Amino acid sequence: MDAISPYSAPLTDAHGRRISYLRLSVTDRCDLRCRYCMAEDMTFLPKSAVLSLEEMGDLAERFVARGIRRIRLTGGEPLVRRGIDTLAKRLGALIGNGLDELTLTTNAMRLAEYAPMLAAAGVRRVNVSLDTLDPQAFRHVTRVGNLSVALDGVTAARKAGLSVKINMVALKDINEDQLLPMLDWCAATGCDLTLIETMPLGEVESDRSDHYIPLHQFIAPLRDKCAIFPTEQRTGGPARYFAVEGSAVTLGLITPLSDNFCATCNRIRLTVEGRIYMCLGQNDHVDLRAALRTGDMGHVDGLIDAALAGKPRAHDFLIERKSEPAVARHMSATGG
């Protein structure tokens, strides 16, 4: 692909929101099977349906030329994608050349192996999905995961100089008694913590309404213990950040159901198939793959513009007892 050149039309959607954050899914595959995210028996995309890493790099560079300032590598689990180091190094080279930040979300099963590479590529921050510090509960939630492997990954990331933010999904009757231990552990290990409400994406075996808990209830034990104060911190994502009295941990809250955050949405998602999903909670999408493979970047730009024009004002997530998921595709198919 030719060197990045400026493009006159910035990424702005039909509601006037400036789009500066790309979440790039490099695979729909994962080495865990978290119950709220995936079915136990998953069918993944064939190799022929997914973009090559070179194609992903080409599209990422085009998005940066259009004004994307932050890129997050997601999946599935991005570290299971063979050759991920090549893509990370290519995108890391864009930092200071249009790109401000390259980050990654991981379950940490392979983080101990890849942390040095990520740091060398220019990644400075990773988000680690970790819902509990109880080994049995961790095994239950992930179906196949080993907690000690995840913790070793976090340790390796910190040793490599990476900032780590723990993403903890709030799950009623599974981990609602573990917020305070997690907060203490984050303080001891130098990690920050973001809490996330479970989202109705994809068919799973259990009814999500059984385990949904709004964050204002989930954090009640913390509020009973100490005060939390809103901060001005922003990382380009949907979280609102708070300082915790007596703790160095920054606490983030992501509330797609109890307190919709769509008014400030600055994100666009590109799937491993080359599809732009304008909203995580909607099915509408624009497919860039065919245009990309013809080499017609003008056509690609036109499709990107069409996607932005169709970006909705808000998602319509709703969890009710025995309700259908908001969309049938799993989170791993879109990217976190």
Residue list, annotated binding site for [4Fe-4S] cluster: 30, 34, 37, 262, 265, 279
As a whole number of angstroms, the longest Cα–Cα distance in the chain is 59
Write out the two tokens for 327: 């969309």
Write out the two tokens for 75: 């999946």
Residue (of 31, 20, 80, 84) closest to 56 by Cα position = 84
Angstrom distance (rounded) from CA 154 to CA 166:
9
Contact predicate 131/171, CB 8 Å = yes
In the annotated binding site, the residues are: 23, 30, 34, 36-37, 72, 76, 105, 129, 165, 199, 262, 265, 267-269, 279
Residue (of 200, 170, 172) closest to 323 by Cα position = 200
In the annotated binding site for GTP, the residues are: 23, 72, 105, 165, 267-269
Taking only Cα atoms into account, the Rg of the chain, rounded to an integer number of angstroms, comes to: 19
In the annotated binding site for S-adenosyl-L-methionine, the residues are: 36, 76, 129, 199
> Could you tell me which residues are beta bridge partners of residue 105?
127
